[in-house]
Structure 1
Amino acid sequence: MGVQRLVAALVTALLAGCGPATAATVDPAPPAPRHAPQRTYAVGVRQFVVDPGGPRPLPVTVWYPVEPTTPATPAAPSGPPTAPATTSAGPVVRPGAPVAAGRFPVVIYSHGLRSLPELHAPLTTRWAATGFVVAAPTFPRTNLRARDFTRVDVRNQPADGWRLIRHLVRLTTRPDDPLAGHLDVTRIAAAGHSAGGFTTAGMFTSGHSTRLRSGIVIAAGGVAGSFAGPVAPLLFVHGGADPIVPESVGRAGYARALGPAAFLSLPGQGHGEYLTPGRPGFAQVLATTTDFLRWTLYDDPAALHRLPTDAALSGVTTLTTRALPR
C-alpha cells in the first residue's frame, strides 16, 4: 500500500473514533500570570521510559532550557528572544546538562507514521531554546523502528499523550529527578505532525484537563470527539498541495475548533518540507508556532499581536484567524 493510501485509511479510521484520551488527574487551580523569557537558552536533552514494565512502554525524549556556556544578551523587552547559537540542525544540544533556573511550560510533541522524535528536532529544539520543555514520546507501534507497525494504533496515542502528562505531573514531586521543580504542569500544549497531528487533536476531547491549554496541529485535522471543550486556542499548519493529508482535512478541523483558532497555510507545499530549516516557509512556521506557544502558555500579549507579522511572506504563507483576542 502506498503512503498516500496508507494515510487515507488512517484518516478514515481516526474520523470514526479514538481511544480514551482524557487525563485522570485532578485539574489544578488556574495558573498565575507568567512572564515570557526575554532571552534564549542553550538546550539540554534526556530520555526516559514511561511504564517500562507495562503493556505499552513509552520512550520519551525531552529537550529543555539550560544555561548557555557564555552569557546571553537579553532581547529587547518589546520583541521575541533573539536566535540562539545554532548549527544548521538547530541549537547546540548538551545531553544531560543541568536544567536552567526557573519553571517552564511543557509541550507534548507527537511524531507521525514511521517517524521518531529526533527527526523533529529542528523545530522542537528551537522551541526549547525560547523557554519550553518539549517532551516527545516514541509511540510503540507507529514509530520508524516499530517491529509490529500498525497504523490504526494511532487511535491509542492520545491516551499515551495523557499518560505522559500524568507522568510529568508525578515527576514534579520527585526531588531526585533533574526536572523536578522546573516543569510548569499547569501550562501544557500538545503539538504534532501528520499522524501526530491527529494524535494531538485526539487529546482535546470533551472534558479534557485544563492543564492542556493549547494545541498545534500540523498537516492533520480533527478526529471524532475532538475540540469539544474546554475551549483551548488551536493553531493549524498545512501545506496547500499536501498529497498525503489534503489541506481540506486541516481546514475542516479549523472550522470545527471552538474558540480562538488560526490556520497557517503554505500554498503549493506538501506534507512537511516547511519543517526543514532553509526551506521556504520554515522561518514563518517557526516564528508563528513559537509566538503561539508564548501567547497561550506564558500569556504574552505581545506574542499574540506578532502572529500576523510572523506568518507574513507573500507567495509562501497565508494566515487565517478566528476569535483571537485583540
Structure 2
Amino acid sequence: MSDANTTYAQKPAHAPPTVVSAKPIVLPAPDRGEDLQVRVSAPASGGDLPVIVFSHGFGWSLNGYAPLADFWAAHGFVVIQPTHLDSRTLGIPHEDPRTPRIWRIRIEDLTRVLDELDVLEASVPGLGGRIDRSRIAVAGHSWGAQTASALLGARVLDSDGVPGEDMSDPRVKTGVLLALTGLGDDLTPFAVENLPFMRPSFDTMTPPALIVAGDKDQSMLSTRGPDWFTDPYAYSPGDKSLLTVFGAEHSLGGIPGYEVAETTDESPARVALVQQLTTAFLRSVLHGEDTGWKAAAAALENAPDPLGKLQSK
C-alpha cells in the first residue's frame, strides 16, 4: 500500500521477535470532514490474533501510547489506533462546528474501524488471514476510555438524567479502561458548562472490563478526589476488575509515552505493571482458558512492596 510506512521493532526473546506496524492507513470518511487515519500494529507471525481497538486521550494521535501498543502487539494482539478529530496533529480549531459532536464522532471512529477490518487487514504486509474477528476488545485512556466505554454499553445522560443513545457494539467482547472519568454528579462548573458529555451511566456497561485508576489522579474536572476514577468499577454490573496503581497520576506512570509533557508521574515500573496486567486480563477473557491473569493477580497480591491493588467482582 503506497501510503503505509512499515516499521519493525525488536522484542525480547520471550515475546514474538518482530512487530510490524503500518501507518497511516486512510479510511474514507466523507461524513466526518476528515478521512480517518489509522495505525495497525501486529506480531509478524502467528494466527488467530485477537484485536484491540485503542482510543487515544485528548490531543493525541495514532502515534501515541507506544508503551502499550508495542507491548500488546509483541504479545500477540493486533492493535488498531485511529486518530480522532481532537488530535493536535489535525489542528481543528475549537470554534469548528464539529467540536460539540467530537465525543460522538470519536465513538463512530471506533465503529468505523470495526466495519473496515477487512481493509485494515489487507493494508498491513503479511497480516492477511491472521485476524480472529470473534475476539475483539476496546481500550482507551482518559477521554479515549470514555469513547471505548460506549462500545461496551456506557451511555451519556441528558440534562434530565435520561440515558442517551445506546452506541454499544456486539462485536466487542471486553475492554480495558484506563483513567476513565467517573459520574457527572461532582463536576466542576467549567466541566458542567463545557463538557455535557461527561455525565456517564455505567448501568448497562455489562461486558467484562478492567478499569485502571491511579490513586494520585486528581482531576481538574471533578470536585472529588482520585476515587472518582473508580466509579466505572463501582457502578457497572457484570464481571469487572479494578487495578488501582499506587502513586499514579493521570498518565499512570507514562502510558502515553515516556518523557512527554503530560507525564507528571513517570515510572517505568508502573507502566510495566499496566502492560502486564492489561495483557493478562485481555488474554484471559478472549482466550478463555489462559491462566496468566490469575498468576499476575496472585503475584501482585503477594509482592512484598506491591505497586498496586487488584479487586474483582
Looking at structure 2, the residues matched to 175 and 162 of structure 1 have their Cα atoms a distance apart, in angstroms, of 18
2:37 counterpart residue number: 59
Per-residue displacement from partner, 1:40-72 (whole Å, max 9, x unpaired)?
A: 341000021122544342100111011xxxxxx
Looking at structure 1, the residues matched to 251 and 123 of structure 2 have their Cα atoms a distance apart, in angstroms, of 40
Could you tell me the TM-score, scaled by structure 1's length? 0.68
Root-mean-square deviation (CA, aligned residues, Å) is: 2.7
One-letter amino acid of the structure 2 residue matched with residue 211 of structure 1: R
Aligned residues: 249
* Matched ranges for 1:1-326 at <5 A: 40-47=16-23, 48-55=25-32, 56-66=34-44, 100-140=45-85, 142-150=86-94, 152=100, 153-169=102-118, 178-205=126-153, 208-221=168-181, 224-226=200-202, 228=204, 231-244=206-219, 247-276=226-255, 279-309=268-298, 311-312=300-301, 313=303, 314=305, 316-322=307-313
Per-residue displacement from partner, 1:2-42 (whole Å, max 9, x unpaired)?
A: xxxxxxxxxxxxxxxxxxxxxxxxxxxxxxxxxxxx95341
1:106 is paired with a residue of what secondary structure?
A: strand
**1:170: how far off?**
6.1
One-letter amino acid of the structure 2 residue matched with residue 143 of structure 1: S
2:286 is paired with a residue of what secondary structure?
A: helix
Looking at structure 2, the residues matched to 215 and 310 of structure 1 have their Cα atoms a distance apart, in angstroms, of 22
One-letter amino acid of the structure 2 residue matched with residue 285 of structure 1: V
One-letter amino acid of the structure 1 residue matched with residue 217 of structure 2: D
Looking at structure 2, the residues matched to 300 and 129 of structure 1 have their Cα atoms a distance apart, in angstroms, of 20
Which consecutive unaligned segments of at least 5 residues does structure 2 have? 1-13, 154-165, 183-198, 259-266
Name segments (4+ residues, structure 1) moved above 6 Å.
174-177
Contact 1:281 1:316 in 2 (8 A): yes
**1:297: how far off?**
1.5
* Residues 311 and 216 of structure 1, relative CA distance in 2, 3 Å threshold: farther
Looking at structure 2, the residues matched to 311 and 275 of structure 1 have their Cα atoms a distance apart, in angstroms, of 20
Looking at structure 2, the residues matched to 177 and 43 of structure 1 have their Cα atoms a distance apart, in angstroms, of 11
**1:176: how far off?**
10
Structure of higher RCO (CA pairs closer than 8 Å, 6+ residues apart): 1
Which consecutive unaligned segments of at least 5 residues does structure 1 have? 1-37, 67-99
Could you tell me the TM-score, scaled by structure 2's length? 0.71
Contact 2:273 2:307 in 1 (8 A): no
The percent identity for this pair of structures is: 26
* Residues 168 and 252 of structure 1, relative CA distance in 2, 3 Å threshold: same
Looking at structure 2, the residues matched to 302 and 257 of structure 1 have their Cα atoms a distance apart, in angstroms, of 25
